[in-house]
Amino acid sequence: MPMLVESVSVSRETEERLLAYAALLKKWNERINLVSPKDIDNLWERHILDSLQLVPLIKGHKQFVDMGSGGGFPGIVVGIAADIPGVLIESDQRKSAFLREAARITGAKITVLPCRLDQAEVAPAPVVTARALAPLDKLLEWARPLLEPDGIGLFLKGRQAEQEIEDAARTWRFDVRSWPSKTSPDGVILEVSNFNRAEG
């Protein structure tokens, strides 16, 4: 399995923006469920560092789309650290309001679409991301219309990743590269490209 860079170094300014985002999330989490209560004290390791792993794979692209953004992982984190425009799609109106406020206070170049993934009207992007959203076959279905023809999907996955790849291969044809997670021994980042529905 290829190795991703050992760590993602961020500037002092970026770290301050991430800390401001984390503080806002903790405040809003008292009213709406953005992250599990048991994760709130481990927010940096469990969610922020996990999301930061995508930055080396996204840098160099002009924009990205994040599906089912929830509390902003990885969308807000990537928008801050990679400093590129992103579109975050989140159907929950309260979470969408949080994402807009997070983008505002951090200065991230983020647009929030408060709609279902199958209703999103957005220009195709070179990168589509998702974390803890759905099995791979469903992610490919949602990502396909959001992605440029030669674009890539970056999906943070857990211990079921290999099984999800096998299941998706029944209905999709795709190339996949698996990067080991730096924050979870069972985690991987799936970099998926050239995906289309299997014929027949």
pLDDT in tens, the chain (200 residues): 333 334 567 888 999 999 999 999 999 999 999 988 888 888 888 899 999 999 999 988 999 999 999 999 999 999 999 999 999 999 999 999 999 999 999 999 999 999 999 999 999 999 999 998 999 999 999 999 999 999 999 999 999 999 999 999 999 999 999 999 988 889 999 999 999 998 75
Domain harbouring 39, CATH code: 3.40.50.150
**3-state helix/strand/coil string of 24-50:** HHHHHCCCCCCCCHHHHHHHHHHHHHH
Q: Is the residue at 188 inside a domain?
A: no
Tally the domains of the chain. 1
Q: Is the residue at 137 inside a domain?
A: yes
Give pLDDT, residue 100: 98
Give pLDDT, residue 199: 76
What range defines the domain where residue 79 resides?
Answer: 12-158
Residues 6 or more apart in contact with residue 104 via CB below 8 angstroms: none
**Cα 87 to Cα 66: distance, rounded to the nearest angstrom:** 6
Annotated ligand binding at 68? The verdict is yes
Q: Is the residue at 194 inside a domain?
A: no
Annotated ligand binding at 131? The verdict is yes
Q: Is the residue at 55 inside a domain?
A: yes
Q: Is the residue at 168 inside a domain?
A: no
Q: Is the residue at 165 inside a domain?
A: no
Residues in the chain: 200
Give pLDDT, residue 3: 38
Annotated ligand binding at 46? The verdict is no
Both tokens of residue 71? Answer: 């509390």
